């Protein structure tokens, strides 16, 4: 015979289990939907021509083409450019905050950086168009500043809060005794940082980079607005590009339901999802190693 | 006393408004081991850390008076702190090898001082590991992470790391408090060997240890040096009542 208390106990137990299960279910649902619809795309287009070709022209007269090469490369180009800018800046800021800055400076800068993450991506894109683009076109003598470099700069800014907060936590977790050991051997604070503190938390810094990368690669609105939207193979940072995310966002609203083009957008989403999934899994496993070692 | 290595004169140290070390006047002879003993909070570690300017890291520390390493004024603002730390090495309470290989731990100070010839570094690493009696245990796995060593081995590695840059003085801050008796005995043997080449100042809570290794002992209490003399005198014929009570274990 079950009494009242046991009943409610079990009820809540199941309620929370259900809530947790729902999250996993939603994730699996999204993944399943992307894969199933993506697979239907490959009934009419080969995987090889999808990944290998860079000619994306679904509404062409005669034979439509579905090659994502240019978009994949654009996405990687913009993201890598963003990381090249954001990682040194982010780790430098984190090192400053945890090792150098006096308490009151840290108390001001940390919330400011966290607030940076709260700026809506459409606002960042807007700044890209009206501020960054003219500067780029003037400095490099281009007719138009809406290109991959613009996207990289904006995405770098958007990745900074993630990179800084994770990297700062990693640097802060390096035991003081390591630093004292280096100081006692006559190292100055710069040498100590570069030869002892940062190497001691490498895995944490890698995790910070990966999480920043995951944040950047899926960003849509900013790159859609600021990178010029030309679906062609870019030859460098001064070329306009169109990323995977921007393509899906632009074309999903117009595509006729159930066509090859429609399923093609799902396939793009699936590729993107796989990339971010891999990056996040890598970041998690590296971060787990870093937590286990306590540094 | 013989050859004076370190002379501390009218030395006072404040942390903010707290007067931590009061009017210290003491001399440490060369190639001897001096033990600093006293109850927790008496200032013995603080005094030790003054000798290589570790207090530079705490902004509210105020140091007055004079500490002389031979003719080098350690506290003078114009004296290069890096040069001081090359001459005055330190081993900490908890073994703190860097999370690098055994080899790189010892090589660290050498690279810092501008030795870049790998053959020189290798030879020096070997000789320091031998001097610290840890060579036999580690010679086949120099590339292993130092963190995989036992606590006692780590501490001997830290001593090797400290002597690699050929300091004149080695400071040890309760180096055995985290170690088992066998590791402690090995470190003590090592210290007795090392005093032939270095001047050693050791802070210890362990009075047997002070009696086993130290030539001279200073008893400190509430920031003052109460009594200083040959170890035998401090433990067996103390002149001060406080010292007698402490070494006989009435408080501590």
Q: Which residue in B99, B109, B162 is closest to A200 by CB distance? A: B99
Of A98, A126, A112, A274, nearest to A201 by C-alpha is A98
Q: Does residue B58 sit at the A interface (CB-CB below 8 Å)?
A: no
Run means of pLDDT, 10 residues per run, chain A, 295 residues: 83 94 94 91 89 86 87 94 96 93 90 92 95 94 92 96 94 92 90 92 90 91 91 90 93 90 93 90 80 53
As a whole-number percent, the residues of chain A with pLDDT over 90 amount to: 65
Contacting residues for B42 by C-beta, under 8 A, at least 6 apart: B220, B221, B222, B223
Tell which of B52, B106, B109 to mutate to test the A interface (max A CBs under 10 Å): B109
Q: Is the pLDDT of residue B79 over 70?
A: yes
The pLDDT score that the predictor gives to residue A285 is: 85
Query: What is the pLDDT, as a whole number, of residue A1?
Result: 59
For residue A111, being part of any structural domain is answered with yes
Angstrom distance (rounded) from CA A52 to CA A49: 5
For chain B, the structural domain boundaries read 4-247
Paired residues of A101 in beta bridges: none
Give the pLDDT confidence score for residue A288 in this predicted structure.
78
Confidence of residue B57 (pLDDT cuts 50, 70, 90): confident
Residue A145 lies in a domain: yes
Task: Give domain status of residue A129, yes or no.
Answer: yes
The answer to whether B89 and B175 are in contact (CB under 8 A) is: no
In CATH, what class is B4-247?
A: alpha beta
Please indicate if any CB of chain A lies within 8 Å of the CB of B92: yes
Place of tokens 């399923």: A263
Does A265 map to a domain? yes
3-state class (DSSP) for residue B70: coil
CA of B239, closest CA in chain A: separation in Å? 36
- Enter the DSSP assignment of A54: -
Does a structural domain hold residue A183? yes
**Half-sphere exposure (CA, 13 Å, Cβ side) for A154?**
34
Report the domain count for chain A.
1
> Taking the C-alpha atoms of B243, B247, B250 and B252 in order, what is their torsion angle to the nearest 10 degrees?
90
Q: Is residue A151 part of a domain?
A: yes
> In the structure, how many helices (H) and strands (E) does chain B have?
10, 10
d(CA A22, CA A11): 16
Chain B residues in contact with A191 by the CB 8 A cut-off are 112
Whether residue B1 has pLDDT greater than 60: no
Quick one: pLDDT at residue A294? 45
Per-residue pLDDT of B106-163, as tens digits, reads 999 999 888 889 999 999 999 999 988 899 899 999 999 999 999 999 999 999 999 9
Band (pLDDT 50/70/90 cuts) for residue B192 is very high
Answer whether residue A288 is part of any domain: yes
Residues of chain B with pLDDT > 70, as a percent, come to 99
pLDDT of res. A286: 81
Domain assignment present for A89: yes
CA atoms of B240 and A238, how far apart (whole Å) = 82
pLDDT in tens, B26-42: 999 999 999 999 999 89
Residue B102, Cβ density class (10 Å: 0-12 exposed, 13-18 middle, ≥19 buried):
buried
Any idea what the CATH number is for the domain that residue A217 is in?
1.10.3720.10
Here the ipTM equals 0.88
Chain A residues within 8 Å of chain B (Cβ atoms): 175, 177-178, 180-188, 191, 195-196, 199-200, 295
Q: For residue A220, which of A92, A142, A122, A107 has the smallest C-alpha distance? A: A122
User: Whole-number mean pLDDT of chain B?
Assistant: 92
Who contacts A65 (Cβ-Cβ below 8 Å, separation ≥6)? A49, A53, A55, A56, A57, A58
Name the residue among A195, A177, A198 with its Cα closest to residue A187: A195
Q: Considering the entire predicted model, what is its pTM?
A: 0.80
Q: What is the span of the domain harbouring residue A219?
A: 65-293
């Amino acid at each position: 015979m079950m009494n009242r208390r046991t009943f409610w106990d079990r009820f809540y137990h199941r309620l929370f289990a259900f809530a947790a299960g729902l999250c996993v279910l939603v994730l699996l649902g999204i993944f399943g939907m992307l894969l199933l619809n993506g697979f239907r795309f490959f009934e009419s287009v080969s995987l090889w021509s999808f990944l290998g070709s860079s000619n994306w022209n679904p509404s062409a007269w005669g034979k439509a083409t579905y090659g994502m090469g240019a978009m994949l490369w654009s996405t990687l180009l913009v993201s890598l450019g963003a990381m090249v800018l954001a990682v040194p800046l982010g780790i430098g800021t984190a090192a400053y905050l945890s090792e150098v800055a006096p308490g009151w400076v840290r108390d001001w800068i940390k919330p400011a950086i966290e607030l940076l993450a709260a700026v809506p991506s459409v606002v960042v894109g807007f700044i890209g168009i009206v501020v960054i683009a003219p500067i780029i076109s003037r400095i490099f003598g281009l007719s138009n500043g809406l290109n991959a470099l613009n996207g990289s700069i904006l995405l770098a800014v958007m990745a900074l809060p993630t990179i800084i907060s994770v990297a700062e936590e990693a640097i802060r977790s390096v035991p003081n005794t390591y630093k004292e050991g280096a100081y006692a051997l006559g190292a100055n604070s710069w040498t100590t940082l570069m030869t002892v503190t940062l190497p001691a938390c490498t895995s944490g810094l890698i995790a910070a980079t990966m999480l920043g990368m995951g944040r950047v690669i899926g960003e849509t609105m900013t790159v859609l607005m600021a990178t010029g939207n030309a679906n062609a193979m870019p030859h460098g940072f001064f070329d306009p590009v169109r990323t995977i995310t921007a393509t899906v966002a632009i074309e999903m609203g117009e595509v006729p339901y159930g066509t090859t083009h429609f399923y093609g957008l799902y396939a793009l989403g699936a590729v993107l999802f796989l990339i971010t999934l891999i990056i996040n899994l890598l970041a998690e496993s590296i971060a787990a190693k870093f937590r286990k070692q306590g540094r | 006393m013989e050859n004076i290595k370190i002379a501390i004169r009218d030395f006072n140290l404040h942390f903010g408004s707290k007067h931590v070390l009061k009017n210290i006047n003491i001399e440490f002879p060369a190639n001897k081991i001096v033990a600093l003993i006293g109850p927790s909070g008496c200032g013995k570690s603080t005094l030790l850390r003054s000798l290589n300017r570790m207090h530079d890291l705490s902004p509210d520390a105020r140091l007055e008076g004079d500490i002389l390493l031979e003719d080098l004024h350690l506290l003078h603002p114009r004296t290069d702190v890096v040069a001081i730390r090359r001459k005055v090495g330190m081993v900490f309470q908890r073994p703190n090898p860097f999370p690098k290989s055994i080899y790189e731990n010892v090589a660290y100070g050498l690279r810092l001082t501008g030795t870049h010839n790998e053959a020189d570094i290798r030879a020096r690493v070997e000789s320091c590991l031998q001097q610290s009696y840890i060579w036999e245990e580690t010679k086949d796995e120099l590339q292993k992470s130092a963190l995989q060593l036992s606590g006692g081995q780590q501490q001997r590695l830290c001593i090797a790391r400290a002597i690699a840059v050929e300091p004149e003085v080695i400071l040890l801050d309760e180096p055995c408090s985290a170690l088992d008796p066998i590791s402690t005995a090995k470190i003590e043997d090592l210290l007795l060997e090392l005093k032939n080449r270095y001047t050693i100042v050791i802070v210890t809570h362990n009075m047997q240890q002070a009696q086993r290794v130290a030539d001279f002992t200073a008893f400190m209490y509430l920031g003052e040096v109460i009594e200083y003399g040959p170890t035998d005198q401090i433990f067996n014929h103390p002149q001060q009542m406080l010292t007698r009570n402490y070494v006989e274990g009435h408080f501590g």
